[in-house]
Chain A
Amino acid sequence: AQSVTQPDIHITVSEGASLELRCNYSYGATPYLFWYVQSPGQGLQLLLKYFSGDTLVQGIKGFEAEFKRSQSSFNLRKPSVHWSDAAEYFCAVGALEGAGSYQLTFGKGTKLSVIP
């Protein structure tokens, strides 16, 4: 079964600074990878996804992520953080299991705080 690890529970950055949120996954084959963002009391919004091909993927709100198979990582980056980016970020891995079953597994999340 697949799993996702987000090593950083809470990160604080200054507005305008760069950001990198870490995500490591465990899965035997090539996974489908996602980053979601969640504002307090709200559902999850998809930021970006990786299925195959170019390992650097662009998402909404200026975010990007890079898939590194050798490191089993899918880190999220943004060159300049805005105060409105303060939220919780979740990395997820999707995988087809036996008998056509599909599993979408989430990490525990990284809470991002932005200092004005």
Chain B
Amino acid sequence: DTGVSQDPRHKITKRGQNVTFRCDPISEHNRLYWYRQTLGQGPEFLTYFQNEAQLEKSRLLSDRFSAERPKGSFSTLEIQRTEQGDSAMYLCASSLIGGRTEAFFGQGTRLTVV
């Protein structure tokens, strides 16, 4: 297995456009997390899935943000009507179910809104 994969690695978009990022977790992992990281800050939790169920989404930054994991495998994060403040690194991670488990991170998608 090649680990958590994110696509694209970089995205430049104009303000007001919609963007979608994809995350492919480690194949046997049930949990999938999305984080946002701005410059000089730690990862900020956005949402997570356990299989196809989205168990926590209250931390999504606004109703412009949405995430899906339709078949419990890959996930997408969409940002509608992007704003300059959305510029950040978006990180995806996956893990097994349970407390005694570590999360493995992808390389991230760097979003720049111009």
| Interface residues, chain A, with chain B CB atoms under 8 Å away | 4, 6, 32, 34, 36, 41-46, 49, 51-52, 90, 94-96, 99-109
Other contacts beyond A41-B108, A96-B99: 16, CB < 8 A: A32-B99, A43-B107, A43-B108, A44-B91, A49-B102, A51-B99, A52-B100, A94-B99, A100-B50, A103-B56, A104-B45, A105-B45, A106-B43, A106-B45, A108-B42, A109-B41
Report the count of interface residues on B (CB-CB < 8 A). 27
Distance A42 CA – B110 CA, assembled complex (angstroms): 10
Distance A32 CA – B56 CA, assembled complex (angstroms): 19
Distance A103 CA – B56 CA, assembled complex (angstroms): 9
| Interface residues, chain B, with chain A CB atoms under 8 Å away | 4, 6, 31, 33, 35, 40-45, 48, 50, 55-56, 91, 93, 99-100, 102-108, 110
Q: Report which of A6, A43, A99 forms a contact with B91, defined as CB distance below 8 A.
A: A43
Q: Report which of A32, A42, A108 forms a contact with B41, defined as CB distance below 8 A.
A: A108
**Closest B residue, CB atoms, query A109:** B42
Distance A94 CA – B41 CA, assembled complex (angstroms): 18
* Inter-chain contact B100/A102, CB cutoff 8 Å: no
